[in-house]
Amino acid sequence: MTHLTYAAITPARDEADNLPRLGASLAAQTVLPAAWIVVDDGSADDTRGLVEEFARHHLWAEVVCPTSASRNGDDLRRGRTEGRDVAAFNAGVAALRRSPDIVLKLDADVSLEPDFFERLLDEFDSDPLLGIAGGVCLELDRGEWRERFVTGQHVRGATRAYRWACFQDVAPLVERLGWDGIDEAKAALRGWKVRSVPGLTFYHHRRAGRRDGVRSAWRSAGSTAYFLGYRFHYLLLRSVFWMRRDPRAFAMLTGWLRAAADREPVYGDAAIVTYLRRKQRLRELPLRAREALGRGR
């Protein structure tokens, strides 16, 4: 068994319905966390009280409350699209009393098999160059848990784990949507490997877009693509690809065009943008499509 340690940071706003399930998953792990820090970002429900009660029985758990937390509805909506959960994650990392071997962003709306972290730590232990890793996402679809596929070696933010040395290389995380593409590119350019671990599944109990609306989520994806300097032909073809399943994916195009019309800021690191655009060349698109359908392995 690995001797690596890990700390989990959970950004949380009004997550009282989800945290008991996540806490039970953590308490049942074959390798317990060195720390579980829940960052209560201005909850109006009993998020804080639930974690405090859990911490009375599990000394590795605690809740922290950033002074910037706000209950303004617009702030909440804007925060989820502009990276407030990343700001909360950064606050949780700052609250760590000691540096773990692995630190991860662990969303409140997931649950895990008891050996999830044992297997994840084994991956890091067996490959010293593995910098960012995570699990494979399952979501409930028509009564069955189905995999949500990713392209490339992308690691979903819900169980996104960093080797501490790699985290130092990619920090600070950009506090807006697109942060997960930027830190993966930073890691790769510094020689770290990034991958989701095949067969290491986690259950995602709130489907993407459920809180703010699916159309809003697609629109945000478009404005994020503009921020990251995506090739327009890639965004166009990506929109058409997803519109076959969900016509609302057209909003990805409107999000990009609105960002362009408003001359929104773009990410300023040319090396990162070049790295991302390299994966969007025309000859790469058939592979990206197969990966999105789960056939690119």
- The per-residue pLDDT for range 126-148, each reduced to its tens digit, is 999 999 999 999 999 888 999 98
Judge whether residue 203 has pLDDT over 80: yes
Mean pLDDT, all residues of the chain: 89
Tokens of 199: 């067969």
The Cα–Cα gap between 224 and 192 comes to: 24
Judge whether residue 81 has pLDDT over 90: no
* Domain chopping of the chain, boundaries: 6-204, 214-292
Judge whether residue 198 has pLDDT over 50: yes
Q: What's the pLDDT score for residue 80?
A: 46
Q: What's the pLDDT score for residue 257?
A: 94
Judge whether residue 70 has pLDDT over 90: no
Mean pLDDT of the 142-167 span: 91
Q: What's the pLDDT score for residue 217?
A: 87
Judge whether residue 43 has pLDDT over 90: yes
User: For residue 222, which phi and psi values (nearest 5 degrees)?
Assistant: -70, -45
Least confident of 146-150, 196-200, 258-262: 146-150
The Cα–Cα gap between 205 and 219 comes to: 22
Q: Which pairs with CB-CB distance under 8 Å and at least 24 residues apart come from 66-74? A: 66/39, 66/41, 66/91, 69/13, 69/40, 69/41, 69/42, 70/42, 71/42, 71/44
Judge whether residue 265 has pLDDT over 80: yes
Q: What's the pLDDT score for residue 74?
A: 41
Q: Helix or strand or coil: residue 20?
A: helix
Q: What's the pLDDT score for residue 79?
A: 45
Residue 83 pLDDT grade (very low, low, confident, very high; cuts 50, 70, 90): confident
Judge whether residue 52 has pLDDT over 60: yes
Judge whether residue 248 has pLDDT over 50: yes
The Cα–Cα gap between 165 and 154 comes to: 19
The Cα–Cα gap between 102 and 138 comes to: 23
Residue 241 pLDDT grade (very low, low, confident, very high; cuts 50, 70, 90): confident
Judge whether residue 211 has pLDDT over 80: no
Q: What's the pLDDT score for residue 293?
A: 63
Q: What's the pLDDT score for residue 282?
A: 74
User: For residue 57, which phi and psi values (nearest 5 degrees)?
Assistant: -105, -15
User: For residue 278, which phi and psi values (nearest 5 degrees)?
Assistant: -60, -35
If we measure between CA atoms, which residue out of 93, 101, 97 comes closest to residue 171?
A: 93
The Cα–Cα gap between 88 and 124 comes to: 25
Q: What's the pLDDT score for residue 25?
A: 98
Looking at the domain 6-204, which fold is it? Spore Coat Polysaccharide Biosynthesis Protein SpsA; Chain A (3.90.550)
Residue 9 forms beta bridges with which residues? 37, 105
The Cα–Cα gap between 137 and 291 comes to: 14
Q: What's the pLDDT score for residue 68?
A: 56
Residue 245 pLDDT grade (very low, low, confident, very high; cuts 50, 70, 90): confident
Residue 208 pLDDT grade (very low, low, confident, very high; cuts 50, 70, 90): low
Q: What's the pLDDT score for residue 72?
A: 45
Tokens of 20: 């008991």
Q: Is 152 exposed, middle or buried (0-12, 13-18, 19+ CB in 10 A)?
A: middle
